Amino acid sequence: MTRRSLSLQLASLTLTMLMVIVTSSPLMTSTLNEQSLILPTEGRQDTLDVDCSGYSFEDLFEYDFALFELEILDDWATGDMFANAWVNGSNSAIVRDNLDGLFEGLPGGDNDWISTDERDAVRSIGPKCIADMETRLGMREGIPHSGGVDWNDFEFFEDGIALDEVNLVPDGHPDARTCTNFGAEQSCKEVPTSTTDDLEISLFVGDGENNNVRWDQLPNSGSSNFTLAMNITNMSDAALVVTFPVLQGLRMYDFRVTDNSPESGLNCDYINEPSFMYLPDGSLQVNQLVNFDRTQWDLECAMFMDFTTQVPETNDVPVWSSTAPANGTRIATSGTGTTVFTAAEIGNAWASDDDGWSLDCVFDEEGWSVSTNVLGDFLVAQPATSSVSVATCTIVDPLGATDENDSRTWTFGTLFTATGTVDDDGENARLTITSTGLVSEFIIAPRALQDGQLGGVGDPVTVSSSSPAVVAVSLTTIRPGSFTITGVAQATNMIDFTVDMDLNLAKPNSPPVISVAVNFDGENATWDDNQQKFEMYGLVNDPDLEAVSMSLTICGAEYQGFVINGINWNVEVSTAICMANGLTDYDVVITATDDSGASAQITVEIQDPMSNDVPLPSNPIDSEDDSSLPFPSFLATLAMLGAALVLRRKSEE
């Protein structure tokens, strides 16, 4: 079997967002180790006019994270698959370029622009394409297996497949244009494939259908031992959630990962065991995280999960560990809604059991509940009708074993409320934090957060239940625009609480500051020997530390040939346009614009080199300040300006 065929198996499912696969391409092949997962394929082309059997999702789609949720239906022969992939920043530009490349040879295709027409074409052929691919999932009843047997493969059901995308062609993008190719729809819009706006692609069950995945029904419908197998080769960062029908005593009792033992010595031993829990209706849900380095092309990995309904000969009850919260511990929430109150790596160490365990909490107020997400983090849901509730929590294993006499009592509740403003100069945000009284006092050091970038570090503040606290949050390194507040709140007898607040705050934008240097003759420009062009130097600085672009106008024409290096700029300007129109007024208007669109202008007087009447140097006209620098030398000018900017930045810090 080819390596590409293997990479197809969960990739398609995973990737069924594969609106992406429209044409065919040469296949790369490699021989699989005998222990690798063998999930054979069957062609399903019939009358289809596309062939995607030679592709995997990873061939064309660079996602940052993907979630795949498979619900096995009661007939043990069909399933409901939901898949969602998040693609951010530079990866989204790769995806747009790959999609555009699929339409090579067609009007508007492979032209470095992705259009709404191309998007609609992908939506149209997507289900046919996905139905021809493989899910990379298989099940088999009987004794545990790790490959080399006849697997009962899952297959996509075309009529049940629906696809959608978010932001593939962003609405209102500044670079959007009307499609220019022949035959384009009248409403067609396109954006450059280099666009880095985040996007999503989703697969789900279509309207009027109840499944989009099918396989041969298990002979015993899951009531006897069976193995679920997955090929995870080349799956970068993803989570798989499988929910089984309610079946008395169903549990996972073994897990293993195999690989093809490549000469490089790489292996798949780093893949952790899945976690599992029982939903309120009694159904078993298994969560598996996969993180694969896609550059390891000689490595092939497969996972196997063994399930049974047999009752073990002995079953010990789960026990609390020394790291579990003690009785009376406070657990903070963000208020109404769902809050992560502890991460998986911390919460999973609170108890132990050979068969795994889950947290079962009974609250004294209605509407509260505890659960885990696909990453294994522990969450608490809080109703709008209550701000605090006491919970009695026990630990339960998959077979229901628990020690009712060994419970823990914890108090969950909203820790604080907050409001905020931003200073007019944009240097700080001011937060007013009001404690709700869950604890007598707590310490917090909030920071601004924007697209993964943290603002400046501030001093911790103590918030008591007696009065609100006001704290300044530095906006250093935060760009103009919206930002959120993050931090960790700590208190005695309380689990550390990670703060994540959106207070609808935005940093204002300040325009750049432009300076022009004078030469040794005290002039703003230096002419060449032919007196047909001149050169100018200066400094430009953006108070918000954003990138700056520059342009100028001369004799009514615009010129953008600036060279910017840090805070220094220089430009060489031809006067050809002036001579062509018989003009001798060479004064220029320089404009500097930051990434957020704020701009500043200065008008600079340029002396006519042919004039014998050479006036004393004068300052250029600045719309805000007097920015010309009539100093004795150009080098001295740059040195003094650089020093001034450094001193200004230090004073701001």
Higher pLDDT, 411 or 186: 411
Indicate if 220 and 153 belong to the same structural domain.
yes
pLDDT digits (tens, 9 = 90+) for 429-446: 999 999 999 999 999 999
User: Residue 156: CB partners within 8 Å, gap ≥ 6?
Assistant: 12, 13, 16, 81, 130, 131, 133, 135, 212, 213, 214
CA 82-86-92 angle, 5° bins: 135
Reported confidence tier of residue 23, pLDDT bands at 50, 70, 90: very low
Predicted TM-score (pTM) above 0.75: no
**What CATH code is carried by the domain that includes residue 582?**
2.60.40
Indicate if 497 and 594 belong to the same structural domain.
no
Question: In the prediction, which pLDDT does 173 show?
Answer: 87
Q: Average pLDDT, whole number, for the chain?
A: 82
Indicate if 641 and 527 belong to the same structural domain.
yes
Tell me the mean pLDDT in the region 419-426. 93
Indicate if 38 and 84 belong to the same structural domain.
yes
Q: Which of 458, 485, 507 represents a domain boundary (last residue)?
A: 507
Residue 368 lies in a domain: yes
Reported confidence tier of residue 56, pLDDT bands at 50, 70, 90: low
Helix axes 89-101, 116-131, angle to 10 degrees: 80
Residue 611 lies in a domain: yes
Query: How far is 406 from 480, CA to CA, in rounded Å?
Result: 53
Indicate if 388 and 448 belong to the same structural domain.
no
Indicate if 291 and 147 belong to the same structural domain.
yes
Q: Which of 507, 533, 554 represents a domain boundary (last residue)?
A: 507
Question: In the prediction, which pLDDT does 58 show?
Answer: 65
Q: Which residues pair with 225 in a beta bridge?
A: none
pLDDT digits (tens, 9 = 90+) for 84-112: 989 988 889 998 998 888 788 888 888 99
Residue 409 lies in a domain: yes
Indicate if 215 and 164 belong to the same structural domain.
yes
* Residue type present at position 381: A
Return the SS3 of 639: helix
pLDDT digits (tens, 9 = 90+) for 574-618: 999 999 998 989 999 999 999 888 899 999 999 888 775 544 444
Residue 273 lies in a domain: yes
Residue 341 near residue 261, CB atoms below 8 Å = no
Read off the tokens for 242. Answer: 């499988």
Query: How far is 609 from 607, CA to CA, in rounded Å?
Result: 6
Q: Which of 462, 484, 507 represents a domain boundary (last residue)?
A: 507
- In order of 5, 8, 58, 301, 508, the CA distances from 134 in angstroms are 8, 5, 13, 16, 50
pLDDT digits (tens, 9 = 90+) for 202-225: 889 999 999 999 999 988 899 889
Which of 159-163, 405-409, 649-653 shows the lowest mean pLDDT across its residues? 649-653
Indicate if 409 and 494 belong to the same structural domain.
no
User: Residue 144: CB partners within 8 Å, gap ≥ 6?
Assistant: 225, 227, 254, 304, 306
- Whether the per-residue pLDDT at 62 is higher than 90: the answer is no
Indicate if 166 and 142 belong to the same structural domain.
yes
Reported confidence tier of residue 481, pLDDT bands at 50, 70, 90: confident
Indicate if 95 and 142 belong to the same structural domain.
yes
Question: In the prediction, which pLDDT does 57 show?
Answer: 64
Residue 314 lies in a domain: no
Indicate if 522 and 605 belong to the same structural domain.
yes
pLDDT digits (tens, 9 = 90+) for 316-326: 899 999 999 99
* Residue type present at position 310: Q
Number of domains into which the chain is organized: 4
Range of the domain at 573: 513-652
Half-sphere exposure of 563 (CA within 13 A, CB side): 7
Indicate if 521 and 499 belong to the same structural domain.
no
Tell me the mean pLDDT in the region 74-91. 92
Q: Residue 499: in which H helix or E strand, if any?
A: strand 497-507
Residue 225 lies in a domain: yes
Query: How far is 206 from 150, CA to CA, in rounded Å?
Result: 30
The DSSP code for 514 is: E
Tell me the mean pLDDT in the region 12-30. 29
CA 314-316-319 angle, 5° bins: 170
Question: In the prediction, which pLDDT does 624 show?
Answer: 43
Half-sphere exposure of 312 (CA within 13 A, CB side): 17
Phi, psi of 408 (to 5 degrees): -125, 140
Residue 313 lies in a domain: no
Of the chain, the percentage scoring pLDDT greater than 70 comes to 85
Question: In the prediction, which pLDDT does 416 show?
Answer: 97
Residue 404 lies in a domain: yes
